[in-house]
Amino acid sequence: MMKAIRRHLGWKIFLSYLIVLLVGFIVLATATEFTAPTAFDHHLAAMNDMMMGDTSMMGAETDLELDLFTNFRNALNEALGFALAAAFTAAVVVSLIVSRQVVAPIRQMMFASQRIADDHYDERVDVPGDIAGDGVDELAQLALSFNQMAAKLEYTEDMRRQLIGDVAHELRTPLTTIKGSMEGLMDGVLTADVQTFQQIHRQTDRLQRLIDDLQELSRVEAGAYEMNLLLQGVQDLVEITHTTLVRQFEEKGVELNIDLGEDLPMVYADEDRIGQVLLNLLGNALQYTAAGGVVTIRARQVGDEVHISVEDTGVGIQAEHIDQIFTRFYRVDRSRSRSGGGSGIGLTIAKHLVEAHGGRIWAESPGAAQGSTFTFALPVAG
């Protein structure tokens, strides 16, 4: 019995009602036991005084008094008995209803969490009450939070699965090419010349870059890097990246311009991290802009933010892809990016780094072949 009470909330609720009921009953019974005889005697004495004139009643008075008192007490006890039975029934019914309302959702959550632990991430619980109105109590809140947690777990699990699939897919292509070349060399189908070795070298290079990107992505996603936030001038941040890439732009024949606004405020930034973001954006702009195109780095103060953007006149991005390009491994044109060596990780890393600065990043493009602009906003150092 004790074990059942300890293990079931329904029993505990019922027991708490029973205790309240018993205490009420004891108090009531004790009170009537002490007060009823005195009150009764008091009223009887008053009645006696009224009937004083009638002498024929004098002998039977004490017997009548005793009989009346016994009957009164019996009637009182009977009423208390009925009251106790009615209260007990009410306690059973109410505790059943309450425990149905409280225990049932909790039990549902318990079973749902067990199913989630068994990898069934699509499990959700019913939210008790009226969510639209103001009928959301703590239990409904708990159910809502539970469902949110389950949805988040499901999303993370999906991402994990997708990541493994994507990584396997990304590794397969260069490996297949390397293996094919090696087999061709062994069978004598391919000649052991510089071109063949260059082809193999290009693929190993791609593998190396992919692994470096993955390592960087996992570090950034886990937040496993130190941020060295210092007061920086936007101009300095832009200059460093410009110097690093200017040669590559010249080689490809793409014009690189800088257009910085007047009196740009200082920002708190990690020079290396923001440099990495700018390198990724400028690297992409160079990659997706053909010779003769123009790339411009702009910076402006907008409210309490500094907007730094990289604008190109390249291939552009269609509207349906814009929101997804910051998702890891997402590439608009898989075949083209693959030949260019892109793995679709650069923008994901950039997004993480900008957000680590309390900023945000977004892309805009009027459409395919109409160029694109990538902008990130950093809060002004205040």
Token code pair at residue 368: 């395919």
354 binds ligand ADP (CB under 6 A): no
Q: Using alpha carbons, select from 215, 201, 233, 231 the residue that is nearest to residue 341.
A: 201
Is 359 a residue that touches ligand ADP (CB under 6 A)? no
Q: Which of 357, 352, 356 is nearest to 381 (CA)?
A: 357
Q: Would you say 344 or 359 has its CB closer to ligand ADP?
A: 344
User: Binding ligand ADP by CB under 6 A: which of 274, 332, 353, 354?
Assistant: 332
Instruction: Output 10 or 342, the one with its CB closest to ligand ADP.
Output: 342
Tokens 């110097």 correspond to 243
Residue recorded with tokens 């108090």: 27
Is the CB of residue 65 less than 8 Å from the CB of residue 33? no
Q: Closest separation between CB of residue 136 and ligand ADP, Å? A: 41
3-class DSSP state for residue 119? coil
The DSSP output letter for 380 is B
Selected binder of ligand ADP within 167, 337, 356, 381 (CB under 6 A)? 337
Stretch that binds ligand ADP, among 59-67, 108-116, 225-233, 279-287 (CB under 6 A): 279-287
347 part of the interface to ligand ADP, by CB under 6 A: yes
The helix/strand/coil state of 228 is coil
**Least CB distance from residue 232 to ligand ADP, whole Å?**
24
255 three-class SS: strand
Nearest to ligand ADP of 315, 353 (CB atom): 315
Bridge pairing between strands 294-302 and 255-260: parallel
Half-sphere exposure of 166 (CA within 13 A, CB side): 18
Contact string 213-252 vs ligand ADP (x = CB under 6 A)? ----------------------------------------
Residue number with CB closer to ligand ADP (37 or 367): 367
Sole residue written with tokens 């009251």: 83
Which one of residues 10, 105, 342, 359 is an interface residue with ligand ADP (CB under 6 A)?
342
- For ligand ADP, give the closer residue by CB, 256 or 317: 317
Dist. CA 115–CA 121, nearest whole Å: 8
Site size toward ligand ADP (CB under 6 A) is 22
Residue 361 binds ligand ADP (CB under 6 A): no
For tokens 């329904």, name the residue.
10
Q: Which residues bind ligand ADP (CB under 6 A)?
A: 280, 284-285, 288, 312, 314-315, 317, 325, 330-333, 337, 342-348, 372
